[in-house]
A = this chain, B = another copy of it.
């Protein structure tokens, strides 16, 4: 860790709560093991569910025989789509498209797809009984690779693709048939062909990222129960309780107020616990049985439930010989798996940044969401951006090397800076592209000496930077409720899944109200209690919910001041708030509690502040994909690495990791640094060793024994994290999201360092020793057989 940005180094006014590294409010609950997780929830009379999953990638279901399973002692019932259809005539869900059945109907589209569910009094009985459910399949032709799938006419995953989801723009899309392209996004800005014609050099490469898993250590889990008044109460480890409520209500044809969705702490999310995962299924099970039902996935099942998009990115760039990028065309194929989940949103919302943080006159982008017969892919810490940065920042280095330019100088020369329009037409505002690059330069001592070594261990270094647009338009609402003694409750639906949002939100409310963050009680997401929030995703909470919380606290403060003004007969404008007290010009000070007691004649009442935030937004033109206001803020992250490569084993060791992120304003520098670092380490796993290995759609390494994630020994000894603060004019106290920033640029930085060390270029992650060795041999004209 390097220098801490002290509060007050920019012009933002705070009362000292914002900018302070408040220890996480839940620390004690977590270290004492008392923190609430849905995983631990037990309800009286609860049934345990186990899912019978498809063993084939693409097939018609001929017959499901549940009789043997039903007869097993301890089994309560076995549920198939037939039962689901009795309750819900159209049981398809999904955030972008309604394409995913609660249980497979007539067909399975990926290995691991839920086909039936066994309900039993205990989980072990349920598990054993799943083996007794016999499913007969009639195989269909599967397709697995995104580029192949985009072109096939025979292996069609969905007969009809019916875009219909929560998002107004997706609802208007026309149904498609005979294609696996679920959705596409195209951007045309300037004349890219002319640019290529005018260029001194045109570079063309294809990069690929593999499918990986989120692997939250608290597996995906949902408990549902029917309440006394016949409504649903869903306890779920979800990043998007408001969405779950809306979607389950839609499926059942109920009003929202009959569905209550609550969460607790999450043991990690990373995008795995978004939208509907188990909630629709478990709700149906509870309604069918009238009993509380719990379904908790195993680690293995998580691999079949949601993944990160594998992506193929073809990138063509025209440059002048002195290193000016004139034009760029990028085509991206996103491997969405069998169901769209949020893939179409990734395609569109991330797709438009595919040309990178560069100031390029002519840009042409094509982005395709493609169905395949793999487990569904969704959002995973970066919403597709790391896959794009992997491509463009690998190519950036290739070009610089080819042109004989310093990679950092080449980047700086082409950098998109504030005030300049991005390819979409949206002008860059308050984005620290320059600052992040400069910090990388400084921290890496980039122009200083560097020893590459000559023995079996070669050393190299590399950098990369990435840019991400925040998903838009989305809404957050917050309440700040001051209780009768003046103590305060903060009601916001942001889910604390380890990122420290409870603490950050408490800091914002406390700063406005003049209280200590530690004294603000944060009420966890519960749709009966906390107001609407789109979801905890895409690093949006600090900016969106932060603004809503700030506005709610301001509203409460204003009401308290107005109350006090009436009580004292003084003008509202003459009163100020200091240390949680309303202070009069002559120095009298009234706590919120005192104001309430005066108002109601006894310790009584509430002051309710409401804040609601939705940023301005202009949707992309259907003609050219452009928009002058496509994102509320830009995230900028840069990574520098120093590596040691063992040329005998191909193993890459990251000896120094430098993560630089623009936080706008670090509300809690300690938490921001740990977020940057956590994202960086996670991305390191995806870069060096994590990869879901498939055999005909079957995941052959679906366990933590076979699928390695970074452990403590994988963390580089030198792990430097640097916050850059370019205050955002619309951010709460200048802040913006940071949760994904650390993940953006790591992969290409490592590949760039690898090339720096041993002179080989790898175009596909992960950068395994095998790939390194193979590339090395190829470079040495000693190519091995592709496996």
Q: Is A617 an interface residue (CB 8 A)?
A: yes
Q: Which of A521-537 contact B (CB under 8 A)?
A: 521, 523, 527-529, 531-532, 534
Residues of B within 8 A of A520 (CB): 257
Residues of B within 8 A of A167 (CB): 602
Cα distance A54–B601 in the bound complex, in angstroms: 38
Contact pick for A484, options B42, B265, B483, B532, CB 8 Å: B532
Q: Is A605 an interface residue (CB 8 A)?
A: yes
Cα distance A605–B230 in the bound complex, in angstroms: 25
Contact pick for A602, options B166, B227, B528, CB 8 Å: B166
A489/B528 in contact, CB under 8 A: yes
Interface string of A462-488 (1 = CB under 8 A from B): 000000000001110101010111111
B531/A477 in contact, CB under 8 A: no
Known: A28-B229, A29-B230. A485 touches B256 (CB 8 A): yes
Q: Is A258 an interface residue (CB 8 A)?
A: yes
Q: Which of A222-278 contact B (CB under 8 A)?
A: 227-231, 242, 245-246, 249, 255-258, 265
Instruction: Quote the shortest CB–CB distance from A195 to chain B (angstroms).
Output: 35
Q: Contacting chain B: which of A76-84, A431-439, A606-614?
A: A606-614
Q: Is A131 an interface residue (CB 8 A)?
A: no
A26/B601 in contact, CB under 8 A: no
Residues of B within 8 A of A257 (CB): 483, 487-489, 519-521
A531/B608 in contact, CB under 8 A: yes
Q: Which of A5-48 contact B (CB under 8 A)?
A: 25-26, 28-29, 34-36, 42, 44
Main secondary structure on chain A at its contact with chain B?
loop
Closest to A171 in B: B602
B604/A35 in contact, CB under 8 A: no
Contact pick for A29, options B168, B229, B602, B608, CB 8 Å: B229
Q: Is A603 an interface residue (CB 8 A)?
A: yes
Instruction: Quote the shortest CB–CB distance from A618 to chain B (angstroms).
Output: 11
Q: Is A450 an interface residue (CB 8 A)?
A: no
Query: Which of A26, A29, A520, A606 is packed against the most chain B CB atoms within 10 Å?
Result: A606
A479/B531 in contact, CB under 8 A: no
Known: A34-B228, A521-B231. A166 touches B531 (CB 8 A): no
B523/A604 in contact, CB under 8 A: no
Residues of B within 8 A of A166 (CB): 602-603
Contact pick for A242, options B242, B473, B484, B527, CB 8 Å: B484
Contact pick for A605, options B258, B523, B532, B605, CB 8 Å: B532
Instruction: Quote the shortest CB–CB distance from A94 to chain B (angstroms).
Output: 14
Closest to A601 in B: B473
Residues of B within 8 A of A477 (CB): 605-606, 608
Instruction: Quote the shortest CB–CB distance from A130 to chain B (angstroms).
Output: 27
Contact pick for A606, options B229, B487, B531, CB 8 Å: B531
Instruction: Quote the shortest CB–CB distance from A487 to chain B (angstroms).
Output: 4
Closest to A247 in B: B603
Instruction: Quote the shortest CB–CB distance from A413 to chain B (angstroms).
Output: 38
A228/B489 in contact, CB under 8 A: no
Instruction: Quote the shortest CB–CB distance from A610 to chain B (angstroms).
Output: 5
Residues of B within 8 A of A34 (CB): 227-230
Q: Is A784 an interface residue (CB 8 A)?
A: no
A246/B28 in contact, CB under 8 A: no
Interface string of A677-692 (1 = CB under 8 A from B): 0000000000000000
B600/A475 in contact, CB under 8 A: yes
A606/B532 in contact, CB under 8 A: yes
B28/A230 in contact, CB under 8 A: yes
Known: A473-B600, A477-B605. A483 touches B229 (CB 8 A): no
B28/A532 in contact, CB under 8 A: no
Cα distance A228–B479 in the bound complex, in angstroms: 22
Residues of B within 8 A of A606 (CB): 477, 531-532, 612
Cα distance A534–B484 in the bound complex, in angstroms: 11
Closest to A245 in B: B483
Cα distance A527–B484 in the bound complex, in angstroms: 11
Known: A228-B35, A229-B25, A256-B483. A534 touches B604 (CB 8 A): yes
B608/A475 in contact, CB under 8 A: no
Instruction: Quote the shortest CB–CB distance from A239 to chain B (angstroms).
Output: 16
B605/A612 in contact, CB under 8 A: yes
Cα distance A510–B33 in the bound complex, in angstroms: 44
Residues of B within 8 A of A229 (CB): 25-26, 28-29, 34
Query: Which of A29, A230, A532 is packed against the most chain B CB atoms within 10 Å?
Result: A532
Interface string of A337-355 (1 = CB under 8 A from B): 0000000000000000000
Contact pick for A608, options B479, B534, B605, CB 8 Å: B479
Cα distance A707–B328 in the bound complex, in angstroms: 91
Residues of B within 8 A of A242 (CB): 484, 604
Interface string of A608-631 (1 = CB under 8 A from B): 101010100100000000000000
Cα distance A474–B256 in the bound complex, in angstroms: 33
Residues of B within 8 A of A601 (CB): 168, 473, 475, 614, 617
Residues of B within 8 A of A484 (CB): 242, 246, 256, 532
Interface string of A38-82 (1 = CB under 8 A from B): 000010100000000000000000000000000000000000000
Cα distance A521–B232 in the bound complex, in angstroms: 12
Cα distance A36–B42 in the bound complex, in angstroms: 17
Known: A29-B228, A229-B25. A485 touches B602 (CB 8 A): no
Residues of B within 8 A of A612 (CB): 605-606
Cα distance A230–B35 in the bound complex, in angstroms: 10
Cα distance A168–B606 in the bound complex, in angstroms: 18
Cα distance A601–B532 in the bound complex, in angstroms: 14
Closest to A523 in B: B528
Residues of B within 8 A of A475 (CB): 600-602, 604-605
Cα distance A257–B34 in the bound complex, in angstroms: 19
Instruction: Quote the shortest CB–CB distance from A620 to chain B (angstroms).
Output: 14
Instruction: Quote the shortest CB–CB distance from A484 to chain B (angstroms).
Output: 6
Cα distance A227–B230 in the bound complex, in angstroms: 28
Instruction: Quote the shortest CB–CB distance from A522 to chain B (angstroms).
Output: 9
Known: A257-B489, A528-B489, A608-B479. A602 touches B168 (CB 8 A): yes
Closest to A231 in B: B521
Cα distance A520–B25 in the bound complex, in angstroms: 36
Interface string of A195-232 (1 = CB under 8 A from B): 00000000000000000000000000000000111110
Residues of B within 8 A of A604 (CB): 242, 474-475, 532, 534, 614
Cα distance A241–B450 in the bound complex, in angstroms: 69
Closest to A531 in B: B606
Cα distance A83–B733 in the bound complex, in angstroms: 47
Q: What are 14 A-B pairs with beta-carbon distances under 8 A?
A: A26-B228, A26-B229, A36-B228, A166-B602, A255-B486, A255-B487, A256-B483, A257-B483, A257-B488, A473-B600, A475-B602, A484-B532, A531-B606, A534-B604
Contacts A242-B484, A245-B483, A473-B602 aside, 5 further interface pairs with beta carbons under 8 A come to A34-B227, A246-B603, A249-B485, A475-B602, A532-B604
